[in-house]
Structures are given as C-alpha cells and as structure tokens.
Amino acid sequence: MALEEKREKRPPVTPMMIEEEAALRNGSRGLPSGSWAEAAGPRPRTTERHIAVHKRLVLGFAVSILALLAVTMIAVLLSVRFEECGAAAGPPRAGGNGSLSGAARQPPGARQPPDRPEEKEEARGGEAAAEEKEEEEEEEEEWQRRREPPPWARPRLPRHLRPLHYNLMLSAFMENFTFSGEVNVQLEVRNASRYIVLHAHRMHIEAVRVAEDKLAGGVRVARSFLYPQTQVFVVVLNRSLEVQRSYNLKIIYNALIENELLGFFRSSYVLHGERRFLGVTQFSPTHARKAFPCFDEPIYKATFKISIRHQATYLSLSNMPVETSVFEEDGWVTDHFSQTPLMSTYYLAWAVCNFTYRETVTKSGVAVRLYARPDAIRRGSGDYALNITRRLIEFYEDYFKVPYSLPKLDLLAVPKHPYAAMENWGLSVFVEQRILLDPSISSISYLLDVTMVIVHELCHQWFGDLVTPVWWEDVWLKEGFAHYFEFVGTDYLYPGWNMEKQRFLTDVLHEVMLLDGLASSHPVSQEVQQATDIDRVFDWIAYKKGAALIRMLANFMGHSVFQMGLQDYLTIHKYGNAARNDLWNTLSKALKRVGKSVNIQEVMDQWTLQTGYPVITILGNETTDNVIVISQARFVYDSDAKPKDPTLGDNSYLWQIPLTIAVGNTSHISSEAIIWVSNKSEHHRIPALEEANWLLGNINQTGYFRVNYDIRNWRLLINQLTRNHEIISVSNRAGLIDDAFNLARAGYLPQNIPLEIIRYLSEEKDFLPWHAASRALYPLDKLLDRTENYNIFNEYILRQVASMYLKLGWPMNNLNKSLVQASYQHEELRREVIMLACSFGNKHCHQQAATLISDWISSNRNRIPLNVRDIVYCTGVSLMDEDVWEFIWMKFHSTTAVSEKKILLEALTCSDDRNLLNRLLNLSLNSEVVLDQDAIDVIIHVARNPHGRDLAWKFFREKWKILNARYGEALFMNSKLISGVTEFLNTEEELRELKNFIKSYEEGAAVSFSRAMETVEANVRWQRLYKEELFQWLRKSLTH
C-alpha cells in the first residue's frame, strides 16, 4: 500500500510512536508506558516458606491469579481508545463532520475508520459522555468568564502556533471522485495552549494524533471537532503545548473531488467520443482547507512535501517536480514530489489528469511545460503560450534581478475553471480559452487576451508567490502589480504596441474609474475581518485601481528608480510576507539614493486608504494674468448617493496629487511641469498663459484622477482637436474624450461637450482615441437604446463614423498570415470602426456581414477575416433569420477551437428573437451544453441586448438561488453577474424591481447589490435630469 511505502521514508520511529500507531489502527487510546507496565506487569512472587498448602490449593490459586490478570487486561483495553474526530462536531459540538459521514462515504481503498462495535460504545457508556459534556460546559463557562469568544469562534486563527512543514499524502479515486489523505504538520509553539485550531472544511476526519517531535512522549487528545461556522478543526489536548517546543500533528481524512469550481474539483472533456475526467485544485483565497487540514492564511508560510497516489492511466502534477514514482502491481502509482520552498497554502496546487505536454527550457535552465488535452497539444494550440512563457521568465529575471525560484514551471490548460487563470507557484492553471491559441482561427484581440493573462500570472511568481501579502487587505500588492505588468511585459514582447502608454488607459484606467466613481466604492486597502470579507476584496478596485496607482507612482518617481526599488523590495522580502508599508519604505529609500526626498507612505496612504478619486478643476483667474485656480473634490456619478462611510462627507477627502500641466496653442505645446496639489483650492502662476492659449492637465493620463476646465478652456481644446489634433498627444486625446463623457454623465459638464469633442474623429488615424470614444459611448448607448428618440442619437454617431469607415474598408481574409504580421494599431483601428458602424446600423456594414455569413453557410468554408469574426457573427445573427442562429449553434457544438467557441456562443446572444434568447438563457444552466464559467457571459450578453435586457433580468431573479449556489463562493463571478445584468437598467419600474429583489435575496452578495442599486439609481437620475437636454442638442446639431 502507498501509505506504508510513504512511512518507510520517515525518520526512525520511537517505541511510543509504534504504540500510538497500534492504538490508532485498533481504535484504542494508548496509555503512558508506566501505566501499561503497572496494569500488565507480573506480580511479585511469594516465597515458599510462607506457603504450606496442598498442591491442589496452589494450582487453584494459580488459576485464580491468571483469571484475575486476564480480566484486568480486558478491562484496561476496553477503557482506552485512540481519540477520533467523528461525532463530536460542534461548538463545541455542532452536528456532523462535513460533507462525508462515516465509513459508508469513504472511497474504495481509503483508510477505514476504526471499528466501533456496539459493545465498545456501550463500554464507553453514559459515564464517558457525561464527562465530555461536563468538560464542554466548563470550557464554555471559562470563555464566558473571560468575556471573549473561544479560539475556534474567532475570524482569524489564534497566533500561538506556527506550521513549519507539511507532509501531505493523497490517494485520488477518479472512478468515484473521492480522495483520502494523511497530513503530518510540524508545529512550532509560540505561546502555551491546549488548543490546536486550524482550517478544515467539507471533509470527514477519521483520526488525529499529536506527538512531540524528537521525544518518545505523545500528547493525549481530550477531544476534537469541526466547527463549520469558521471552517476550522479543533483539537483539545489534555495538557498545554510547551513554548519553543516542536510537535507533530497527524490527521487522516477523506473528502469528495467536487463537481464545482473550488478546492479539489473535477472537470472533463471529450476525446474520440469518450468523456475523460481530471481533478485539479483552486485554493485561492480560502479553499485549501477543503482539500487538506491546514493553516489557511497567507502569513503561515511553510514547506510542503506532497505525494499523490493515483491509477497509472493518469499522471499527477504539483508545484515541484516528481522526485520518485513507486509503481504497484494493481495498476496504481505513487508520485513523490520534491519539497517546496517556504510558501502559503493558497498557491499550493496539484492535478490528476491524462494530458500530454510540450516543453522548452529558459536560458537559466528552468524547465517549462504546457499540459493540455492530447488533441490540443497535437494541433500545436499551446505552442504560442509555451514560447512566450520562456521569454517572459527571462524578462522578469532580468527586470527584477531575482531568479525564478523553482526548477520548473508547468502551465496547465483545463476546460473548467472559475477564473481566467491561477498563479500557483510552479503549476499555473489556465482555463483553455486563456492559453490555447490556434493561429489559423484566432484574432489579434484573442492573441492579446492570451498574452496578457500569461504575463499576469508569470508576474505573480514574484509578486504573490515569492513575496506574499501579509493579509488579504493588501491583496492589491500582488494583483495590482500583476495587472500593471500585463502591459509592461506585453510591451517587451511587442514593443510597437505601446501597451503601457496607450492601451492601459482604455482597458484599465478608464474602466476602473467608472466603478470607483460610485459612492459605494471602497479603498484599495480595506479592512478584512472574516472569511466572507475576503472574497469582496478581489475586485477591479484591487486589480485595476491598484495597477493605476502603481503606474502613477512609477511615473512620478521615474521608471528607473521605481525599478530599482522593486528589486530591493523583492530581495529583502523573498520567501516571506510584506505589507504596503514595507513597499513604501523601500521605494522611499530608493528615491533617497538618487537625491530625492519624498515620503511615499504619506502620499500613497491617501490614495490606498481613501475611497474613490479626485476630480481636479482648473479655472482661469479673470482678475490676475497667468494665475489659475486649482481645486480638488471627490468625483461621484450620483451626488445624491449616500457615501459608504456617512461620517466622512465628500468634502472631507483630500489627496496629494501629482498634477502635470502644459500650455498650448494651435501650433505648439509646452513641456510639462508638475504641481503637487494638496489643498482643497490653490492658486498657481502659469507662465505664458495668454488669452488664446489652452491648458492641459494630467499629461498622458499618468495620474489617477479626472480633470475638468472652465467652458472657455474646453472650447479652446475642442477647437484645437478640430484644427490640428496631433498637437495634443494620442494619450491625452483619449483622456479628453473619456473625461468629457464621464464629467457630463455625472453632471459636471453640459451634455453636448463630449459629443462636440468626438466630431474631430473623422480625421483621427490613431486607434486609442477611437477606442476611448467607443468605450465611452457604450454606456450612453445603453441608457438610450430603449427610448423612442434613440434614432436621433444613432444617426449622430453614424455621421461621425461614416467617413473613417469608408477610408479603412474591410480587411482581406488573412487565414494564411501570421497574427502579428499586420500592423496592430491599424488593424485594431479598422476593427473598432467596423464595430461602431455595424452596431449603430451602417447599411453597408450590415450588408457586408450578411454576405460573409451567407457565403459561409452556402460553401461551408469560413472565409470571414479573423479580426472581425465576432462582429460579423453577432451582426448576422441579429439581422438574419432563425436558420442562421441554428447554424451558429451547430458550429458552436462542433468546433474544438476554444477561441472560436467563445465568439460563437456570444454571437447567439445577439438575436432579436426573444424566443431564441429565452431558449439560450435556459440552456446556459446546463453544464453539458455551456461550461459553468461561460454561463455568466451568456446571461450578461443577453442583458446587453436591448431585446433581451428584460428577459435576462427576469431570468436572473427567477434563477438567483441556483446561480448563487453555483457561483456564490467564486471570486468575481457573483459580482460580475449582478453588475452585468443590472448595470443598464434605467427605468423607475426596474429600480423598484431591483429594490424589492434585494429585500428578498440580498444575503451573500450585499456589496454587489449595493453597487448595483447605486448604478441603477444614477441611471434613473440621468434619464430624469439630462436625457432631454441631450436630445435637444442632437436635434439642433443634425439640422445644421
């Protein structure tokens, strides 16, 4: 058996350990060796001179003595047992043991729990139960006297123990989706206590033992129980563990390989008509406890030695390489993995699958493998990811000056996963759609998505895995850096794409400012008290705002000094934990080394600990030449919305703002100057500020704030864009568009200003301003698309798009060309303009899409250009009959290319036919038809369709219990679903429906529903206050 083989590798056992092993197997509690000798040892012999009796009397006496000894032995054995965790499960007992109960739920071949015959239970009798009950009551009274909750009822683990090392042995039974495990945890005692509290959830614990390392003595377990309220397992000892001593905690357990998305779960795929299964883990942030008992908080770093026993038809993977494999005669194999460095539980990982792989090696000797379905590997779908991973490891090693820390990195592509990817150290897991790429049928945008996800996860091997946040309140320390480096790393791979300077603005800065402009937003660093709070910190504020603040910091520090500071930070804290102040202190020291003195903590605390961001307003002073008034205030979309913290009004917010500013005219723009704005209102003298000159703030949008001007300055900027837009940088052109649309939406600007700005786009040849305009128009379009005057808005946008659409035309079919041969900027611009033209009803665009779809159907050969396939599919489904929908549905089922599958599924949501949309919504919850992670996208895309918005909203309410049960524990998923379904509701009736729904079902997603409520209230408010103003201006504009 595998467990026996594993034992052979342990240090030599002591006699006491042997006795306790025997006690564990026999279901009895071992006695101290002295007691055992006392009970079972021979009695003193009586001398012959005191015995003068008949031979038969001697014989009878001897028989009596033997009988007495036998009775004594039986009594001792019946009175002792090894302490098991079973029925005692509450606070102190709260019912069952988790998802499994007793031997009946155990996998074949797993350890069976110790026998408990009726006689033995009766022997324990009411007396033992009464004693335990009395102990529990005394314990409860003790904690009540102290006026504090017991250690197992607290939101965080007690600090008196620290895990040093885990030896984890697993047996995976893929035929019935169960697994058994034995974990041995070496513990260091910091403070004396008789309680061991660690995380364990949804598992059946069979046995527990505590022994003192390097000594013969064990520690008696008084009792043990699971406490589901805080997802912990509690071991109560007969005596306190001694300070500065080391102990070994051994737990034997079993559990299910769940059919869900967290913990140790299962997924499947079809190959040659046969369904194949795999098991994979997702532990972040708090789900390692579902796979093995552990100290499941990031501060508890330890080393891990993992062994996995599985059928020989599978292979197993973990964070480290396989050290040895032991094959058994019955077709099973046990893989023993090398010991890990110090690491946290949330990025431990393993998988059991029958995938194949391709591999490469970096210059420094790191082995990189990509594992995926055999057919995907055979087609070369993983080759792109494998090649850029090798290059990116080399890039990060050079940039950070810290080598990659493990001997290998495996990339695992799985069909089902709750997130795009997870950065497990040495075994990063990706959902197939974010790592597999077939160049013959993948667009540039799909290639970009795959690239950036890989860049993100590789950055985590340093920020997150090597250096880990102390606690989840600073999760942005890893996610913000990984998100920022998505753009830096992609620039390394594709230098001409200008990702960090340009695409960052539209994809990160502009997007997160929409969310962070809500009164219900929260700081980047927010207090996290309990497990339910942890999920809430993983949102776009942590990822995208974190990245935007890091970018702002890098720009005002200077990129080379910033890089030097990061190198120091990683070197100092590697294999350990760090908090935000550790980062601020290291960066401040880096600035001092180059002669600059800025207190980074003082500046950045205002940005990370306060909610939201400022709007800077720059006004010309009409009484004094060359003097401007600069003021700051918190930006919010709905001024009527109640702030999250009612004690802190919007006027109380202050930031230290690195405002860069430049002065320009029709032919020239000055070099930028930096002004640190730290007061509510300040006066500043600006040289050369003549009457015809305009001011521009936040140069290249490096700062995390919006800039507003007086109307005169806005007019000068609009005039500049119309006459010669290239005087203003491409980044600032995009920034002006985004700021203007959002300032108008919030009521800071007249509604016509942003629409006047985009008139210049007919001459704009750069992608970024078009992309900014497209993203800014999208929410405005959704506010208007069910109004009776929508055609006026629609016509205005089409006029702005028409000339550029004619100039650029449609791309040629490029099936035989490399994705990156074409100019990225040019092709993305063409795609953006075609998307706007088709979305707003350009007749030629519609005809072209219908022709391409018809050609595909008639020839059964897809000649649609790769970069616009999603646009053509969606347009064709919306315009053409039900046969086209059925054709796309058939192609969705038949294709094996993950990139194609994704856009085919999204195209089905574009139909104008409400019956088809309802059919699709109902099918989305069938996991055999639509993968769990894709069902959310189906519902959201139907909600974005004006013909399906009410259907998706109704479906969401009716199916909420099912959806919440499926996605409630998964980061992002519930919040993404709630936001996606509600963000474009904008009528009084829909607002009432939302309020009523929240009253009934808010449990489990209160923050997301609060955000949804504020968004819909702002939409209704905008309709009431500004819709008619917008339409009046549009009518006048179209008649001139």
Report the SS3 class of residue 619.
strand
The answer to whether the beta carbons of residues 793 and 466 sit under 8 Å apart is no
Strand partners of residue 803: none
Assign residue 553 a region: left if phi > 0, alpha if psi is -120 to 50, beta otherwise?
alpha
- 457 an active-site residue? yes
Token duo for residue 395? 């890039």
Cis previous bond, 92, omega within 30: yes
The three state secondary structure string of 753-803 is: HHHHHHHHHHHCCCHHHHHHHHHHHHHHHHHHCCCCCHHHHHHHHHHHHHH
Report the SS3 class of residue 328.
coil
Q: What is the DSSP letter of 330?
A: T
Q: What angle do CA 829, 830, 831 make, to 5 degrees?
A: 90
Q: Which of 84, 182, 457, 993 is catalytic?
A: 457
Report the SS3 class of residue 638.
coil
Q: What is the residue-wise DSSP string for 118-182? A: HHHHHHHHHHHHHHHHHHHHHHHHHHHHHTS--GGGSSS--SSEEEEEEEEEEEEETTTTEEEEE
Containing 715, the helix (H) or strand (E) segment is helix 711-724
Containing 658, the helix (H) or strand (E) segment is strand 657-664
Containing 566, the helix (H) or strand (E) segment is helix 559-573
Give me the phi and psi of 572, to 5 degrees please: -70, -40
| Nearest Cα to Cα of residue 695 among 681, 676, 675 | 675
Containing 251, the helix (H) or strand (E) segment is strand 246-256
Q: What angle do CA 200, 205, 207 make, to 5 degrees?
A: 125
| Nearest Cα to Cα of residue 165 among 190, 189, 186 | 186
- For residue 826, CA distances in Å to 768, 811, 821, 822, 867 come to 11, 10, 11, 8, 12
Report the SS3 class of residue 869.
helix
Rg for the chain, CA atoms, rounded: 33
Who's near 584: CB < 8 A, 6+ residues apart? 600, 601, 604, 605
Neighbours of 57 (CB within 10 A): 10
CA distance 568 to 570: 6
Token duo for residue 156? 């965080």
Q: What is the residue-wise DSSP string for 342-407? A: SB-GGG--EEEE--EEEEEE-TT--EEEEEE-HHHHHHTTTHHHHHHHHHHHHHHHHHHS----SS
Active site residues: 457
